Amino acid sequence: MTDFPSPERLLAALPLALRADAARRYAVHGPQLYRRLAGLYGTRPDFDRWYDDLLGSIGELLAARPADLLALDARRAADPGWFLRQHMLGYSAYADRFGGDLAGVGRRIGHLRALGVTYLHLLPFLRPRAGENDGGFAVASFDEVDPALGSMDDLETLCAHLRGAGISLCADFILNHVADDHAWARGAQAGDARLREFFHVFPDRTMPDRYERTLGQVFPAAAPGNFTHVPALDGWVWTTFYPFQWDLNYANPAVLAEIAAALLRLANRGVEVFRLDSTAFLWKREGTSCMNQPEAHALLQALRAIVDIAAPGVLLKAEAIVPTADLPAYLGQPGEPECHLAYHSTLMAASWAALAEQDTTLLRRVVAGTPTPPSGASWLTYVRCHDDIGWKILAQEADGATDRLAAIADFFHGAGGSFAAGVPFQSGAASAVHATNGMAAALSGFETAAGPLARELALRRLLLVHGVALAFGGLPMLYMGDELGMGNDHGYRDDPQRAHDTRWVQRPAFDEHALAWRDDPDSWAGRVFGALRALVEQRRACAALDAGVPRALLPAQDLALFALARGERFLGLFNFSERTLKVALPALGAGAWPGYPDEIELGPWDMRWLQR
């Protein structure tokens, strides 16, 4: 075992008491770390010295890890599948919108517990760019909390409070880009040659034009093109998203070392999970979409190995909004782990598509195309998040029929008297991105519901899509406000910094009024909360819904029916139509279900979870 460097520098940084464990972890994860980094940077003359310095920095950060987090690492090591259990439930929120600030989020713990939440994803809370900042996704400092939300001490306090309540904090970690006023970008603009190398800067349009031939566009209407001219750089810098978000240059090993250290510093504050934003974009290659490149995976695997050595209780979650076929790679292979969790974005989009089409074909294709994850990894399942639903990620399932996807988008924007009240996103541009925004309740039909029956059907549709996310297998995550049936918020239109970005329609302030009605089953909020809570409870009590239990898609004659088995003991039946369906259980080929009639009747948009 001498084909990779010794952990001397790592161990030298550690107090004696930590050395044996670190040496053991390095023996397991070091080879993978070295292989991946040598693959990325091994031809550089200074590689060996850089690698040793990296080990030294990892060692220093491990040495700085507080005792309670070292104890947490040990507990997680003894139970590596802790996040895959059926009692796990995520919740995603903006700190300011949910609680005002970090301390206010702490005051929401009672609500989170009432819902059954064990994992809280807070959208970006680090100091953002001054001015427009893409909802905090333009980070100016990895080491400061946004002063409007609190301080690093408040973050530590919140992490500890949450942990005491059985809730793990997941922080957004934006590693694809930094704000144009981050110290690295400011340094580059001031002429620092070392920091200029942190970004992809081109003196003229020659290379940008070559790259543009095969690049897509994330915000074609608000931020066309992938490069921005910066006079202070006397050149063009790569900006996949908004012009003020500068993509980091991971071909430069210094960038990876800085980012890994920034992540470990936050882990040492008590963050237990990192949502790695925009992971698909980390590596650029001419002639490609510059998404899902093998080097992006090598970087993530290196980061995983670093975490496994220096903060082994920590989880990594990949945000890669990509076609189904490109998703599994983010979870790695047996023996070559990457992220612990990955957003199942096509499952999410296809669930909504099934509602629009009253046909589960796309959903079934997504499920059929989803392999079993390697052990110790799984899907993050969800219904809504702070972003748009981009329909084009279903292009493969739709056999490339973009008109079909456009029709789904139109449906959610209210075409043809549909029940949905969604808002289009970025679709006016030449390279149309058919995407939809809107709170789950609005997309399910609450805003258009004229009477009690229409409201009942809207509730069923809301539960149906949540039911898929809760039963599929993985870690399901609810989106703030959906548990109370909160609707769209059009207030962003009055704010010049946000008016162009319709994603704000699903980023409302938490509704205190709805919260007050939460436990009243006669209120709207209470009905939604009670019904979702009951599903969460049923899931928690059903061992077959542990993420590790295999799933099987059952052949159903009616295209509106989605039938999903989990192991031998769970069967979920979902009616994605306004018709009443009669489901003959024997015809599904899943054996006998004692205690249930042979024929199950599912009313419009109804769902049944069977257990034996």
Residues recognised as catalytic: 277, 319
Segment contacting ligand OTU by CB under 6 A, of 55-63, 129-137, 308-316, 346-354: 129-137
CA angle 251, 252, 254 (to 5 degrees): 145
Residue closer to ligand OTU, measured from CB, 70 or 218: 218
Q: What's the min distance (Å) between Cβ of 401 and ligand OTU?
A: 21
Q: Within 10 Å of residue 490's Cβ, how many Cβ atoms? A: 12
**Which residue has its beta carbon closest to ligand OTU?**
137
The interface mask with ligand OTU, positions 210-229, x = CB under 6 A, is --------x-----------
Separation between Cα atoms, residue 347 and residue 364, nearest integer Å: 9
Q: What's the min distance (Å) between Cβ of 362 and ligand OTU?
A: 19
Tally of residues, the chain: 612
Separation between Cα atoms, residue 534 and residue 439, nearest integer Å: 21
Write the CB contacts of 451 (distance below 8 Å, at least 6 apart in sequence): none
Q: How far lies 16's CA from each of 23, 54, 59, 172, in Å?
A: 11, 20, 12, 33
As a whole number of Å, the CA-based R_g of the chain is 24
Q: How far lies 387's CA from each of 45, 135, 277, 378, in Å?
A: 42, 10, 12, 21
Residue closer to ligand OTU, measured from CB, 207 or 218: 218
- Please report whether residue 32 would count as binding ligand OTU according to CB under 6 A: no
Joined tokens for residue 471:
């039963």
SS3 24: helix
Half-sphere CA count of 477, side-chain side, radius 13 A: 32
- Please report whether residue 96 would count as binding ligand OTU according to CB under 6 A: no
Q: Which of 84, 88, 93, 174 binds ligand OTU (CB under 6 A)?
A: 174
Q: Which of 106, 328, 390, 473 binds ligand OTU (CB under 6 A)?
A: 390
Residue closer to ligand OTU, measured from CB, 220 or 548: 220
Residue closer to ligand OTU, measured from CB, 96 or 277: 277
- Please report whether residue 320 would count as binding ligand OTU according to CB under 6 A: yes
The β-bridge relationship of strands 168-173 and 273-276 is parallel
Separation between Cα atoms, residue 168 and residue 475, nearest integer Å: 13
Residue closer to ligand OTU, measured from CB, 86 or 176: 176
CA angle 197, 254, 206 (to 5 degrees): 25
Q: What's the min distance (Å) between Cβ of 501 and ligand OTU?
A: 8
Read off the amino acid at residue 399: D
Segment contacting ligand OTU by CB under 6 A, of 162-170, 249-257, 385-393, 540-548: 385-393
Segment contacting ligand OTU by CB under 6 A, of 26-34, 49-57, 371-379, 387-395: 387-395
50 by Cβ neighbours in 10 Å (0-12 / 13-18 / 19+) ranks as middle
Q: What's the min distance (Å) between Cβ of 166 and ligand OTU?
A: 27
Q: Which residues pair with 572 in a beta bridge?
A: 564, 609
Joined tokens for residue 218:
């994330």
Query: What residues between 131 and 170 interact with ligand OTU by CB under 6 A?
Result: 134-135, 137
Q: Which of 11, 316, 321, 549 binds ligand OTU (CB under 6 A)?
A: 321
Q: What's the min distance (Å) between Cβ of 347 and ligand OTU?
A: 15
CB-CB contact of 420 with 443 (8 Å): yes
Q: What's the min distance (Å) between Cβ of 506 and ligand OTU?
A: 11
Segment contacting ligand OTU by CB under 6 A, of 157-165, 262-270, 383-391, 443-451: 383-391
CA angle 477, 270, 331 (to 5 degrees): 45
Indicate left, alpha or beta for 417 from its phi (over 0: left) and psi (-120 to 50: alpha): left
Q: What's the min distance (Å) between Cβ of 283 and ligand OTU?
A: 14
Q: Which of 319, 357, 447, 606 binds ligand OTU (CB under 6 A)?
A: 319
- Please report whether residue 387 would count as binding ligand OTU according to CB under 6 A: yes
Half-sphere CA count of 486, side-chain side, radius 13 A: 27
Which candidate, 323, 604, 344, places its Cα nearest to that of 468? 344
Residue closer to ligand OTU, measured from CB, 255 or 280: 280
The interface mask with ligand OTU, positions 239-258, x = CB under 6 A, is --x-----------------
Segment contacting ligand OTU by CB under 6 A, of 2-10, 295-303, 384-392, 579-587: 384-392
Q: Which residues pair with 318 in a beta bridge?
A: 276, 342
Q: What's the min distance (Å) between Cβ of 134 and ligand OTU?
A: 5
Q: Which of 73, 96, 388, 482 binds ligand OTU (CB under 6 A)?
A: 388
Separation between Cα atoms, residue 96 and residue 356, nearest integer Å: 33
Segment contacting ligand OTU by CB under 6 A, of 304-312, 313-321, 447-455, 559-567: 313-321
Size of the site for ligand OTU (CB under 6 A): 16
CB-CB contact of 246 with 146 (8 Å): no
Q: Which residues pair with 342 in a beta bridge?
A: 318, 379
Q: What's the min distance (Å) between Cβ of 18 and ligand OTU?
A: 35
Segment contacting ligand OTU by CB under 6 A, of 79-87, 181-189, 314-322, 589-597: 314-322
170 by Cβ neighbours in 10 Å (0-12 / 13-18 / 19+) ranks as buried
To the nearest 10°, the Cα dihedral for 585, 586, 590, 591? 120
Segment contacting ligand OTU by CB under 6 A, of 105-113, 190-198, 203-211, 380-388: 380-388
Residue closer to ligand OTU, measured from CB, 221 or 321: 321
The interface mask with ligand OTU, positions 265-294, x = CB under 6 A, is ------------xx-x--------------
- Please report whether residue 424 would count as binding ligand OTU according to CB under 6 A: no
Write the CB contacts of 263 (distance below 8 Å, at least 6 apart in sequence): 173, 175, 274, 303, 307
Joined tokens for residue 601:
């009747």
Q: What's the min distance (Å) between Cβ of 241 and ligand OTU?
A: 4
Residue closer to ligand OTU, measured from CB, 25 or 121: 121
Q: What's the min distance (Å) between Cβ of 120 and ligand OTU?
A: 17
Separation between Cα atoms, residue 391 and residue 353, nearest integer Å: 9
User: Which residues are at the interface with ligand OTU (CB under 6 A)?
Assistant: 134-135, 137, 174, 218, 241, 277-278, 280, 319-321, 386-388, 390
